[in-house]
Amino acid sequence: MAQEAHGQAALDRVVFMPVAVPPHKEAADDPGAEVRVRLCELAVVADERFRVSRLEVDRGGASYTVDTLRLLHERGAGDELTFIVGGDMAHSLPSWRQPEQVLALARLAVAEREGLARADLAARLAPLHDGSRVQFFDMPRIDVSSSAVRRRVAQGRCIRYLVPDAVACEIDDRRLYRPSAGRPAA
């Protein structure tokens, strides 16, 4: 998604920003913020278009997009920000903390996800902005999610080609996402 957004939205760079504590989503098998930062670094190490930020991890606590965007504006006055999301996240934006402010602080680059059409998403987001703040980009259909990758690891199945090789090796070396002794795989 980052690669497609970078090209189609004409972005200078894409910054991956792992959260310290996800505000809306709990993952029982979360290895922690530091490991998630490391996995992101491994995933983008060879690509100059991408970087990893520790901003939210270093800040700690629950992360809300509007707070992060405000902080980014303070630190990088003059930067035009684009927040990249999948259609599922774009669909949920109206329920986020201060969604109008999110769109005032950053353009939204939306990759369609199956089951959520552009027209439906555009109509859902229309009350939040003046019509210029949401951009859709084409995304090749690759049905891979982080939860599916974690599930495959827990089941002892291969994740090669689903994540970068360095990430797969780190997951294996750290024995991440495997069931605890005595607990069956999902």
pLDDT (0 to 100) of residue 18: 94
Taking a C-beta distance cutoff of 8 angstroms, is the pair 4, 138 a contact? yes
Taking a C-beta distance cutoff of 8 angstroms, is the pair 62, 79 a contact? no
pLDDT (0 to 100) of residue 21: 86
pLDDT (0 to 100) of residue 78: 79
Which pair of tokens denotes residue 51?
A: 């970087």
Question: Per-domain residue ranges for the chain?
Answer: 2-143
Calculate the alpha carbon distances from 64 to 3, 71, 119, 156, 177 in Å: 24, 11, 26, 34, 26
pLDDT (0 to 100) of residue 184: 53
d(CA 161, CA 93): 31
Which pair of tokens denotes residue 177?
A: 């996402």
pLDDT at residue 143 tops 80 = no
Predicted confidence band of residue 128 (pLDDT cuts 50, 70, 90):
very high
Taking a C-beta distance cutoff of 8 angstroms, is the pair 1, 49 a contact? no
Instruction: Count, in order, helices (H) and strands (E) of the chain.
Output: 9, 5
Determine what percent of the chain is predicted with pLDDT higher than 70: 92
pLDDT (0 to 100) of residue 183: 52
Reported pTM: 0.82
pLDDT at residue 173 tops 90 = yes
Higher pLDDT residue, 179 or 156? 156
Residues in the chain: 186
Q: Region 138-158: what's the mean pLDDT?
A: 88
Characterize 2-16 residue by residue with b for buried, 16 or more Cβ atoms within 10 angstroms of its Cβ, and e for exposed: bebbbeebebeebbb
d(CA 165, CA 170): 9
d(CA 178, CA 13): 34
For 2-143, which CATH class?
A: alpha beta
- 40-92 pLDDT, tens digit per residue, is 999 999 999 999 999 999 999 888 999 999 999 999 877 899 999 999 899 99
Q: Which residues contact 153 (CB under 8 A, 6 or more apart)?
A: 159, 171, 176, 177, 178
Among 90, 100, 18, residue whose Cα is nearest residue 59? 18
Higher pLDDT residue, 180 or 179? 179
Strands 107-111 and 50-52 come out as unpaired
Mean model confidence pLDDT for the chain = 90
Predicted confidence band of residue 7 (pLDDT cuts 50, 70, 90):
very high
